[in-house]
Amino acid sequence: MASENTVKGIYAGVDVGSLATKSVIIRDGEITGHAIIPSGHNSEESGLTALAQALNNAGLERSDVTHIVSTGYGRITASYATKTVTEITCHAKGANYLFPNVRTIIDIGGQDCKAIRVDPDGTVADFAMNDKCAAGTGRFLEVMAGVFKVPLAQLGELALEAEAIVPMSSTCTVFVESETISLLARGEKPKNIQAGIHHSIALRIAGLFSRVGIRSDVYFSGGVAKNKGMRKALEEVLKVTIVEPVFDPQLTGALGAAVLAEGIGAKAQKRALEAVSAQ
């Protein structure tokens, strides 16, 4: 929410991820526009398209924007950005903007997952990351949805209906796919297998947190955070309560980038005031 200390101006964050590209607009301290589109083969084009859609959503033009910060896998191609920042830093800032009491972030994206601990000001204190294997990522869940022949958005909902959790012996995407087919052939109920798949991901995330620790409050960011079955599995395995989202969690990185862009604006305004005072 805007306050008397709000930095005036229009700032944008662009998060070019492996599967989706997101953008958030902040105007005078308030979120006024956002967009999510599939990432194409051209990262710069995807970023510009998402930015244009977010600005249109806010009723603004590109020329209105004071500063832009880019993050995500495609940030290095963002020639339009004032600055590029790592997605870990941006997710921390985005979560802090929404929930100042958050000290732990679970971030599950399209191609990786991260465990992040943050300080009260949203600065990253420590993190652990899995980006070497698709297991425990959005891509992993996409593959599993294909095995069950259900829309990705329904996979977590179906897992919530499980009567039991079928444990998975592997966390490798290829092996879990094969194991799932064998379990279905054996007569296991799909919803029980789906619950087992979500729990296998939660156990993998727990391994990351064994390295960085968990402190309340806990926030779940990334596109997979929309999956209610994944949220439940994480709460059960990690033995925590995850804060209820108040803004689309898939936009957390882009939001954090916009917050950092606002910070650039604040520094510029401070320097301008100091220059005037010195005259």
pLDDT in tens, 38-71: 998 999 999 999 999 999 999 999 999 999 999 9
- Which pLDDT value is given to residue 5? 57
Architecture of domain 101-238: 2-Layer Sandwich (3.30)
R_g (Cα) of the chain, nearest Å: 20
With a CB cutoff of 8 Å and minimum separation 6, the contacts of 113 are 106, 107, 129, 130, 136, 137, 201, 204, 205, 208, 222
- Which pLDDT value is given to residue 139? 86
- Is 251 in contact with 34 (CB distance < 8 Å)? yes
Q: At 185, list the tokens.
A: 């052939």
| Model confidence pLDDT, tens digit, residues 114-159 | 999 999 999 999 999 986 676 778 888 988 999 999 998 899 999 9
| Model confidence pLDDT, tens digit, residues 148-180 | 999 988 999 999 999 999 998 776 777 888 899
- Is 117 in contact with 103 (CB distance < 8 Å)? yes
Tell me, which fold does domain 10-95+249-278 have in CATH? Nucleotidyltransferase; domain 5 (3.30.420)
With a CB cutoff of 8 Å and minimum separation 6, the contacts of 144 are 155, 176, 177, 180, 194, 197
With a CB cutoff of 8 Å and minimum separation 6, the contacts of 162 are 189, 191, 192, 194, 195
Query: Would 10-95+249-278 and 101-238 be classified into the same CATH topology?
Result: yes
223 CA to centre of own chain: 6
Q: At 241, list the tokens.
A: 């309560």
Domain residue spans of the chain: 10-95+249-278, 101-238
Which residue, among 91, 12, 94, 79, has the nearest Cα to 50 in the 3D structure? 12
Which H helix or E strand runs over 273?
A: helix 252-278
More reliable by pLDDT, 270 or 189: 189
- Is 142 in contact with 108 (CB distance < 8 Å)? no
